[in-house]
Amino acid sequence: MRFPAVCPQCQREVQVEFADSAVHDVTCPHCRARFCVFVRKQKFEVLFDLGTRALMDGYAREAVASFAAALERFFEFYVRSFALERAALQGQTDFGGAADTLESTWRHVASQSERQVGMMALAYLLREGREPDFLTAKALGADFRNRVIHRGYLPRREEVDTYAARVFALIDRLLGELGTGAAHAELAQERHFAAHLAALPDGTTAVFEEHPGMFRARRFAGVSPLGTKNLPGQSARASAPAKTAAPMNDAQAFQKALTERGPLLKGLRK
């Protein structure tokens, strides 16, 4: 999949293929200028947006694969956010050292999805102090995912809509619980960008882009996750939302986000 970028030299549009690292070294096909595009977006966000694009284009099975991968990579994002946040709370001032230790530790589970889920379960327990009730096979839609990805099942559009809404609601909820804790993993990405930036050849222009997507736009717009909670000591009557602001179910929230972000996602190209 590709996204449009503008050459800083000739100002013409260039289609850039998504890179796993979020760093894209580009040579303009029009004027041959060299530039580097840094996309401030986490991998789970890119994968979910690609799944949404596939769903909008009618590729239901491909959409399921992208949504499933997005959830797995979000669990990694959560674990990284928690580990770096905990290091900061414990007074570790060497962020680079903490990030490097986390990276070397993650290598032990990088190719083992079940162990990654185990790390997610422990991270959630330690951070929130309660059982991760969302890690059951039913809550994750694991049977549907496995039928599609491993058994070649061809899903109906409504089945994919339901699965996408489930994944969307879970990520949205956990992002809301993470709050500012997510900034620690995002800082690690900026550190990665800085290392690549320092190694760019002379004459290469650096371009930093913020791509709004299904989650990022909601986070920076201050949109709360699904539902609301009363603050301690706050009466239910005082905090009760108006009827028009009642919490949405998973499907409604996903469709609302799809309506809001759909036009931007159409800019993605295969």
Confidence (pLDDT) at 201: 95
Q: Over the stretch 98-112, which tens digit does the pLDDT of each residue have?
A: 999 999 999 999 999
Confidence (pLDDT) at 247: 62
What average pLDDT does range 195-202 have in this prediction? Answer: 96
What average pLDDT does range 27-54 have in this prediction? Answer: 95
Confidence (pLDDT) at 267: 61
* Residue 47 in tokens: 């994968």
DSSP 134: G
Angstrom distance (rounded) from CA 270 to CA 266: 11
pTM of the predicted protein model = 0.84
Max CA-CA distance within the chain?
64
* Residue 172 in tokens: 């949205």
Q: Are 165 and 251 in contact (CB under 8 A)?
A: yes
Q: Over the stretch 143-171, which tens digit does the pLDDT of each residue have?
A: 999 999 999 999 999 999 999 999 999 99
Helix, strand or coil, per DSSP, at residue 36: strand
> What percentage of the chain's residues is helix, strand, coil (to nearest 5)?
60, 10, 30
What average pLDDT does range 124-152 have in this prediction? Answer: 96
pLDDT value at 238 more than 70: no
DSSP 181: G
Q: Higher model confidence: residue 268 or residue 93?
A: 93
Q: Are 213 and 261 in contact (CB under 8 A)?
A: yes
pLDDT-derived band of residue 241, with 50, 70 and 90 as boundaries? very low
Angstrom distance (rounded) from CA 136 to CA 149: 19
Instruction: Give ∠ CA 111-113-117 in degrees, rounded to 5.
Output: 135
Confidence (pLDDT) at 31: 97
